[in-house]
């Protein structure tokens, strides 16, 4: 359980998150993920990073229960926000291309990860969305806007609905949709094709592409986080978050 790193082939590093039962990452988990991705990118032997996850879903966002347990202040909320910021930035700023291998649900913070990846390979059952408004939070519209057109992003954000892998493939943001059993192989196949290029040239290409990006994702996401803090301080976040999980017991 936690974040693990493997090197299945020359030039390819796989960073895997495993936080049962739903890969809702605790504060430490986000920082560990960020550290692993940055370390992989710094490794001169790595030419492509595959970001993967164990379990039925790729990522369910932050561990809401960890935040709910923090009744004496806002340390957990601040930690989660900082951890997400670092993890998203680590993927975007990774010195080599990052391929996200997504299965099942990719929600909340998961959108921040894949929205900053260079390529996405998804299983047929993958769904993508931001249930933030149902969880007393805000954020990652910056990254959802990298996956779908502007007006669709707004509708998905306001309604907390999800989009399927097939729908994102139609928009061009998901490279390939495959049966779940073939997800790892498909992600490695794309990573292998990328890793076959000259390593130094790949790093220059990544820096060049990031340099012409029309949106500064770090600044844009940080701006969003300010409203998350405002929601927390005003009490509206706790009020909405307090209903989390209760629907299933009623």
* Residues 193-215 pLDDT 10s: 999 999 999 999 999 999 999 99
How would residue 70 be classed by pLDDT, with cut points 50, 70 and 90?
confident
**Rounded to 5, what percent of the chain is helix, strand, coil?**
50, 20, 30
Compute how many other C-beta atoms are within 10 angstroms of the C-beta atom of residue 73. Answer: 8
User: How high is the pLDDT of residue 72?
Assistant: 72
User: How high is the pLDDT of residue 245?
Assistant: 57
Asked if residues 111 and 144 have their Cβ atoms less than 8 Å apart, the reply is yes
Asked if residues 198 and 87 have their Cβ atoms less than 8 Å apart, the reply is no
Measured CA to CA, the distance from residue 2 to residue 96 in angstroms comes to: 23
User: How high is the pLDDT of residue 244?
Assistant: 59
Least confident piece of the model among 163-167, 188-192, 245-249: 245-249
Q: What is the dihedral of CA 201, 44, 212, 98, to 10 degrees?
A: 110
Chain position carrying tokens 């139609």: 170
* Residues 36-67 pLDDT 10s: 999 999 999 999 999 999 999 999 999 888 87
Q: Does residue 242 have a pLDDT over 80?
A: no
Asked if residues 94 and 37 have their Cβ atoms less than 8 Å apart, the reply is yes
User: How high is the pLDDT of residue 246?
Assistant: 56
How would residue 189 be classed by pLDDT, with cut points 50, 70 and 90?
very high
Q: Does residue 247 have a pLDDT over 80?
A: no
State in Å, rounded, how far the first CA of the chain is from the last one: 31
What CATH code would you report for 2-180+208-241?
Answer: 3.90.226.10
Q: Does residue 148 have a pLDDT over 60?
A: yes
User: How high is the pLDDT of residue 250?
Assistant: 34
What is the mean predicted confidence (pLDDT) over 92-115?
Answer: 98
Quote the mean pLDDT of the chain: 94
Measured CA to CA, the distance from residue 230 to residue 234 in angstroms comes to: 6
User: How high is the pLDDT of residue 249?
Assistant: 35
What is the mean predicted confidence (pLDDT) over 173-186?
Answer: 98
């Amino acid at each position: 359980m936690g974040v693990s790193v493997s090197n299945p082939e020359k030039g390819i590093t796989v960073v895997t998150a495993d936080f049962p039962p739903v890969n809702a990452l605790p504060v430490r988990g986000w920082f560990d993920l960020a550290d692993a991705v940055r370390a992989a990118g710094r490794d001169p032997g790595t030419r492509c990073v595959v970001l993967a996850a164990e379990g039925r879903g790729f990522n369910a966002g932050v561990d809401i229960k960890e935040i709910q347990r923090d009744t004496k202040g806002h340390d957990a909320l601040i930690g989660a926000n900082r951890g997400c910021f670092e993890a998203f930035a680590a993927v975007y700023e990774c010195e080599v291309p990052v391929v996200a291998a997504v299965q099942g649900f990719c929600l909340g913070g998961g959108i921040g990860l894949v929205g900053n990846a260079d390529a996405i390979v998804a299983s047929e059952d993958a769904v993508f969305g931001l249930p933030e408004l149902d969880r007393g939070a805000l954020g990652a519209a910056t990254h959802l806007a990298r996956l779908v057109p502007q007006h669709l992003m707004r509708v998905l954000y306001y309604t907390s609905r999800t989009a399927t892998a097939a729908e994102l493939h139609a928009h061009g943001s998901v490279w390939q949709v495959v049966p779940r059993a073939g997800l790892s192989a498909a992600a490695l196949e794309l990573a292998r094709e990328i890793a076959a290029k000259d390593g130094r040239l790949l790093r220059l290409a990544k820096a060049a592409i990031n340099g012409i990006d029309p949106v500064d994702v770090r600044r844009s996401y940080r701006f969003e986080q300010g409203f998350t803090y405002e929601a927390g301080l005003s009490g509206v976040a706790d009020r909405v978050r307090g209903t989390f999980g209760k629907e299933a017991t009623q």
